[in-house]
Structures are given as structure tokens and as C-alpha cells.
Amino acid sequence: DAGITQSPRHKVTETGTPVTLRCHQTENHRYMYWYRQDPGHGLRLIHYSYGVKDTDKGEVSDGYSVSRSKTEDFLLTLESATSSQTSVYFCAISESDRGYGYTFGSGTRLTVV
Amino acid sequence: GQQVMQIPQYQHVQEGEDFTTYCNSSTTLSNIQWYKQRPGGHPVFLIQLVKSGEVKKQKRLTFQFGEAKKNSSLHITATQTTDVGTYFCAGRTQGGSEKLVFGKGTKLTVNP
């Protein structure tokens, strides 16, 4: 959707290396989320942000950290990538944490070898 | 923690047949949302239901929210090949965490 972009779209990295994924929005939405999608597991929340420098953990946050220094950017870092973190990562934005649908980015396909 | 169960996991239909996916929560929901994800794509928001017993329609799609606000369904009448994709429900717990919890989705394939 226009207004939210993820980069990179694809990445292959080696086990043990740090990786940073970027989510950029032009909608000035307060809420931003990082999900991972794996076969058989659906969408699982990793971390989310409810404002600049305000973040919280989701259900699968181990091994991940996030930062939000500007309203428009939400970064997801895999501190030391493992094969279990091979996944498709989606960023989503929302005007509010209730009452509004999420707008998802196009996703980043990450492969850890 | 809150769980949102969705069935069936897969559904294959002939074009023109109807399709229904069901979503059940272990706890009362404040609202429920539905998303569609085309193959290779990203989830796209379809609709939100808030009121007990609410029914909403979008062309051939009918969405229902149960009276107890613990279950929901999406029904597609006379499926078309453009309906192919995975349909997700996502709910928020009433009085608890306000974050969305997604079901695992129902993957719909349509045979032309």
C-alpha cells in the first residue's frame, strides 16, 4: 500500500550476523508493528511502537530489538541471526491501537543460512 | 494468553460454490477484524466488527460477529478465482491487551 515501505525486500544472511530491517511510513500514524509470518503459525507480533521511542514486546520478541527515533521509521534488528529467524517479516501501521485496520507493508523475505 | 482459533486451515472449492471460514476466541473480544492475503502478497484489511450480533456485507462477502463476541465468520457466496488467498481474522481482548491477535488463517483455493 502507498504510504508504507519495507526494505530490503529480500535478504540472505549468515548465522550469527546482525541484520536490520527498515519500515518507513508517510502516513504520520502513531502505531507501528513488526510481525513475522511462518507456515502454520500465521502472523505473530514481534514488537510494536506507540510513539517515538515508545516500544513494547510482542509474543515472539526473543532475539529481536527495535528502535523508533522518528515517527516515520521503525527498525527491527536481529542481534545475531539464527536459522529459526528465517521468515517473512511484515511491518504494519495504524492510526490508533483500536478501532482501525492495520495497513501492512509488502514484507521482507529473510533467509538465514 | 489470548488465542484466536480459525478453521478450516485449508479449503478448496469449485468456482461458484460458497465458502465459509470460522474464527473462535477463548475470551470475549472487543472487536474483530478480517484480512485477506493474496498469494505472495501482504495482508489487506477488509472489515472490522464491533457490536454483538453484528452482520456486515461487502458484495459477495458476509461477515458476522457472534452474540457472545467470542466467534466470527466470513462467508463468500459464489466464489470466483479472484477470491483465492488466505483469510485471517484478528481479535482484541475485551478489557485486556489491546493488541490484535491473529488467527492462523484459512487458505482458499478455487478451481475454475
DSSP codes, chain A: -TTEEEE-SEEEE-TT--EEEEEEESS--SEEEEEEEETTTEEEEEEEEEETTEEEE-TT-TTEEEEEEETTEEEEEESS--GGG-EEEEEEEESSSSSS--EE---EEEEE-
Residue B10 has pLDDT above 70, yes or no: yes
Which pLDDT does position B94 carry in this prediction? 67
The alpha-carbon gap from A59 to the nearest alpha carbon of chain B, in Å, equals 9
What is the average per-residue pLDDT within B14-31? Answer: 95
pLDDT 10s digits, B38-85: 999 999 999 999 999 999 999 999 999 999 999 999 999 999 999 999
Q: Is B59 on the interface with A (CB under 8 A)?
A: no
Query: Shortest CB distance from A102 goes to which of B50, B100, B105?
Result: B100
Interface contact B99-A45, CB threshold 8 A? yes
Look-up of cell digits 472490522: B48
Q: Chain A contacts of B48, Cβ < 8 Å? A: 99-101
Site from B29, B30, B102 to mutate, A interface, most A CB atoms within 10 angstroms: B102
Which pLDDT does position B93 carry in this prediction? 75
What is the average per-residue pLDDT within B20-25? Answer: 97
Q: Which of B42, B109, B38, B47 is nearest to B74 (CA)?
A: B47
The alpha-carbon gap from A45 to the nearest alpha carbon of chain B, in Å, equals 8
